[in-house]
Amino acid sequence: MGSTSFSPSISLSPSLSPHSSKFPNPSPNLFLRSHSSFTPLTLRSNQTRYRFKKLPSSNAPNFLVAASAKAEPLKVIISGAPASGKGTQCELITQKYGLVHIAAGDLLRAEVAAASENGKLAKEYMEKGELVPDEIVVMMVKERLLQPDSQQRGWLLDGYPRSSSQAAALEDYGIRPDVFILLDVSEDILVERVVGRRLDPLTGKIYHLKYSPPENDEIASRLTQRFDDTEEKVKLRLRTHHQNVDAVLSVYKDITVKVNGNEAKEHVFAQIDAALTHVGEQRKVNSGSVAA
């Protein structure tokens, strides 16, 4: 699959919050737009119906189009219950769109593996299926988002924010995605996916014993299982997810794309790809109408 990048000469600036106080606007020549003029849209892809919010037309009365000499890279948040397929879809999205994949869970597992103070504390919460405290997670994610590669190529944030306080922290820093993808998967499927998941420690690739088996015996022999991938622990993680998901969704409801994640991974990706393509096309339309 080739790499696709969005490169409008004039772009929208939904990633910058007009309410930001702590985070400097990196592009001072941008105008900020209101979030209130989004309208819902329903499309079909591969027989799957999904809804997303259409970006407003350039002549919407309360809409200020942002004009910038430089292209704004794409910013995406992907969310969903444990084992809903976030990591699997992130691999496909980064292959096509070249975004920097930032997974809160992976950052935390790296701390655990390094046996740092933060890692030791994080592991206690991860083993209980609870959220690791904001003091550890918020700065860790923010710092990764502000690295030059994320700023230049755009980012794909996976598993963050998971609570209203984490979402508020992003808003306070003026960090806002162009689109919020929510993978919707039924609970019985989630448990089956967790129990069968395996990881290749050499390549970082995610497998499933039934749905994505390893390509050969050599890979199969080195696969590992995550310490929180048991039926008992996934139920605790699901409870935590249900306690917090609505609060996070309320922050991003205007830019949410709900995707049916019960299907095969290629079909799930087709829905996401269509949504991201739509965001890119809307940027071109809006940039064209500003240039005219």
Q: Residue 49 catalytic?
A: no
Among candidate residues 54, 226, 235, 265, the one labeled active-site is 226
**Least distance in angstroms from the C-beta of 49 to ligand AP5:** 17
56's tokens? 């407003």
Nearer to ligand AP5 by C-beta: 66 or 99?
99
Q: Residue 222 catalytic?
A: no
Q: Left (φ > 0), alpha (ψ -120 to 50) or beta: where does 31 sit?
A: beta
140: Cβ contacts below 8 Å, ≥ 6 apart: 104, 107, 108, 111, 118
**Least distance in angstroms from the C-beta of 27 to ligand AP5:** 27
In 3D space, the residue among 2, 6, 3 whose CA is nearest the CA of residue 277 turns out to be 6
**Least distance in angstroms from the C-beta of 171 to ligand AP5:** 15
Nearest residue to the partner ligand AP5, using Cβ: 105
Among candidate residues 197, 198, 258, 283, the one labeled active-site is 197
97 and 152 in contact (C-beta within 8 Å)? Answer: no
Q: Residue 44 catalytic?
A: no
**Least distance in angstroms from the C-beta of 151 to ligand AP5:** 21
Helices (H), ranges, the chain: 86-97, 104-114, 117-127, 134-145, 148-153, 164-172, 187-196, 217-222, 231-252, 265-291
Q: Residue 176 catalytic?
A: no
Nearer to ligand AP5 by C-beta: 123 or 283?
123
In 3D space, the residue among 25, 18, 27, 19 whose CA is nearest the CA of residue 63 turns out to be 18
Residues near ligand AP5 (CB under 6 A):
80, 82-88, 104-105, 108, 125-126, 129-132, 137, 159-160, 162, 166, 193, 196-197, 206-208, 211-212, 237, 264-265, 268
Q: Residue 239 catalytic?
A: no
Nearer to ligand AP5 by C-beta: 202 or 264?
264
CA dihedral of residues 113, 119, 122, 124 (deg, nearest 10) = 70
* Longest CA pairwise span in the chain (Å): 61
Nearer to ligand AP5 by C-beta: 150 or 166?
166
Q: So which residues are the catalytic ones?
A: 86, 162, 197, 226, 237
